[in-house]
Amino acid sequence: MIDVDLHIQLRRNGKPFLNSSSVELLREVHRCGSLRVAAMGLHCSYQHAWDFINEINRAAGKPVVVKQRGGAGGGGARLSEHGQRLLDEYRSVERQIRTFTKKLNAEMSF
Amino acid sequence: MIDVDLHIQLRRNGKPFLNSSSVELLREVHRCGSLRVAAMGLHCSYQHAWDFINEINRAAGKPVVVKQRGGAGGGGARLSEHGQRLLDEYRSVERQIRTFTKKLNAEMSF
């Protein structure tokens, strides 16, 4: 069976900065409130996750994830307001893409 | 400016086998009637282009590009009927994606 699969990228000034991998990490950060726990859940090192986040923050032009210092758990990480808006936007695009891909595949002549 | 960019993959039995890079190569083969000329146009080696084509042929389940032996030009390569159908299908998907992406971007709240 042949079907169409679509991959989403968000770009800033023409440069890709958010795709399904980075969104997965952001969602885990949002869910866990900790980059360490998010990294463990995604089976990558804490350092790798931070490098990835720093790259996203730079490419996004303003922070998407911010560190939270102190507190009972010894600090953590959370999405900034901008990061939350980006995730919301991505989710909305994802939903529309899913419907559109279904339509494309129903029309496929293979 | 933040915008959405979509990447198309055709999959066979769930496995990706055609994306924008492979389609670019197939289009060049179709245009030139020669893999050697197509490879030059895309600045890759003839061997690399053949390896890529063999990979696509295998993944597609049946040949997408076939060799043509003999003739004044010393043989060449052309799309099979299946290859032509795949390209037509891809083009139709591309066209629809372009329109859809415009619509998504017009609705983006960033």
In this predicted complex, what is the ipTM?
A: 0.86
**Percent of chain B residues topping a pLDDT of 90:** 86
B9 touching A (Cβ < 8 Å):
yes
Q: How confident is the model at residue B75 (pLDDT cuts 50, 70, 90)?
A: low
A6 touching B (Cβ < 8 Å):
yes
Q: B73 pLDDT exceeds 70?
A: no
Cβ–Cβ pairs < 8 A, chains A and B: 65
Cα–Cα distance between A81 and A58 in angstroms, integer?
16
In this prediction, residue B110 carries a pLDDT of 75
Residues 75-94 of B with CB under 8 A from A: 85-86, 89, 93
Cα–Cα distance between A34 and A75 in angstroms, integer?
8
Q: B109 pLDDT exceeds 80?
A: no
Q: Please name which of B92, B94, B77, B84 lies closest in space to residue B20, comparing C-alpha atoms.
A: B94
| A89, A93, A104: residue with CB nearest B93 | A104
Cα–Cα distance between A25 and B8 in angstroms, integer?
23
Using the beta-carbon criterion (under 8 Å), do A8 and B12 form an inter-chain contact? no
Residues 11-30 of A with CB under 8 A from B: 11-13, 16
Q: At what angle do helices A46-60 and A20-32 cross, to 10 degrees?
A: 110
Question: Which residues of B fall within a CB distance of 8 Å from A12?
Answer: 1-2
Question: Which residues of A fall within a CB distance of 8 Å from B3?
Answer: 10-11
Mean pLDDT calculated for residue range B72-98? 89
Q: A71 pLDDT exceeds 60?
A: no
pLDDT digits 0-9 by tens, A10-68: 999 999 999 999 999 999 999 999 999 999 999 999 999 999 999 999 999 999 999 88
Q: What is the pTM (predicted TM-score) of this model?
A: 0.86
In this prediction, residue A70 carries a pLDDT of 62
Q: Give the 3-state secondary structure of residue B72.
A: coil
Please provide the average confidence, as pLDDT, over all residues in chain B.
Answer: 91
**B76 pairs with which residues across the strands?**
B68
The amino acid that residue A19 corresponds to is N
pLDDT digits 0-9 by tens, B51-65: 999 999 999 999 999
